[in-house]
Amino acid sequence: MYHISPSLLCADQIELKQTIMDLDKMGIDWFHIDVMDGCFVPNFAFGTDIIRAVRGIAEAPLYAHMMSVHPMDFVKPFAELGADYYCFHYETTANPFRLCQQIQDNGMKAAAALNPSTPVEVLGDLLPYLSCVTLMAIEPGFSGQRFLPHTYEKIRRLRSLIGEKPVRIEVDGGADIPISMKCMECGADVIVGGYFTLFDKNESLRNNYRAYRKAQREV
Ligand code: DX5
Ligand code: ZN
C-alpha cells in the first residue's frame, strides 16, 4: 500500500508516542523523519536519541530524510539505530554511487531527495541503485510552506525516467489533499503528510487521515 508518510516534524512533540501508535494502527507506508543539521537548512530536527526512541515503538518503517551536508558520516549510526530508508540530498554529495553502496552495505534502502531547483534528470544513472526519490515541493527546512507547482511536471518526468524500475516517488512539502491527489495522478506513490493534511490542527489526526483516504478512493 502506498499513499502517505507522516512527517513526525509536524506532530505535537509532547504527544509523539501516542501519535506514532495511532498512525501505526491507521496504516501508513513509513514514518518520514526529518533530520536537519542547521547547515544544509537553517533549522535543527530529530537527532539520533529521539529516532532510537521512535524505533523502539514504531511498527512501520523509518524513512530518514537527511538534510545534512555530510550524509556519508551518518550511514552507520542510522543503520545501527534501525532506520530502514536512508534518504540523502543529491545536492550534498559528489559521490552518490559510493553513498548508495554504503547505505546498502549497512542494510538500509537508499533514497535520494532533490531540492525544487534540481532537475530530475540528474538521477538518470543512479535510479537502479535507489528505492525511492523524494521530490521537494518546497525549499527544505520548514513545514507549512507553499507548494511549488512546477513539482507536478517534475513528477511526470521522473515517472517516465523510472519506467519499470522499482523506484517509488515521494513528494515532500506543502501538499494539501487536492494537491496530494494531483501529485498521485502525475505518478507519485507517497505524499509526505504534514501541516496541510494529517496534522491540520482544525481536525483530529483520525479525521484528517479519514478525509485523505476518502479523497483517494474518489480519485
Ligand atoms: C521540510 C520537511 C518536510 C515537512 C513537510 O524540510 O522535509 O517533511 O515536514 O512540510 P509540510 O508540513 O509543509 O507538508
Ligand atoms: Zn522531509
> What are the residues whose beta carbon lies below 5 Å from ligand 2 (ion)?
34, 65, 172
Atom of ligand 1 minimally distant from the CA of 136? 7
Burial of residue 156, with CB atoms counted within 10 A of its CB: 0-12 exposed, 13-18 middle, 19 or more buried: middle
The ligand whose atoms approach the alpha carbon of 173 most closely is 1
Catalytic residues: 34, 172
**Residues 175-192: pLDDT tens digits?**
999 999 999 999 999 999
Q: Cα separation of 187 and 143, whole Å?
A: 23
Whether 7 is in the pocket of ligand 1, judged by its Cβ within 6 Å, is: yes
Neighbour count for residue 42 (Cβ, 10 Å): 11
The C-alpha cell of 170 is what? Answer: 515521494
Whether 154 is in the pocket of ligand 1, judged by its Cβ within 6 Å, is: no
Q: Are 208 and 199 in contact (CB under 8 A)?
A: yes
Helices (H), the chain: 16-26, 48-57, 75-80, 96-105, 151-162, 177-186, 205-218
Q: Is 74 helix (H, G, I), strand (E, B) or coil?
A: helix
Q: Cα separation of 68 and 92, whole Å?
A: 7
Instruction: State the Cα torsion 122-148-87-127 to the nearest 10°.
Output: -30
**Residues 105-161: pLDDT tens digits?**
999 999 999 999 999 999 999 999 999 999 999 999 999 999 999 999 999 999 999
Whether 61 is in the pocket of ligand 1, judged by its Cβ within 6 Å, is: no
Please tell me the predicted confidence (pLDDT) of residue 163: 97
Question: How far, in Å, from the CA of 45 to the mean position of ligand 2?
Answer: 10
**Residues 52-100: pLDDT tens digits?**
999 999 999 999 999 999 999 999 999 999 999 999 999 999 999 999 9
Give me Rg for the CA atoms of the chain: 16
| Confidence bin at 44 (pLDDT 50/70/90) | very high
Question: How far, in Å, from the CA of 63 to the mean position of ligand 1?
Answer: 13
What is the mean predicted confidence (pLDDT) over 46-51?
Answer: 96
Atom of ligand 1 minimally distant from the CA of 134? 7
| Confidence bin at 2 (pLDDT 50/70/90) | confident
Whether 116 is in the pocket of ligand 1, judged by its Cβ within 6 Å, is: no
**Which CATH number is correct for 3-217, 3.40.50.720, 3.20.20.70, 3.40.50.10190, 3.40.50.10880?**
3.20.20.70
Its pTM stands at 0.98
Please tell me the predicted confidence (pLDDT) of residue 85: 98
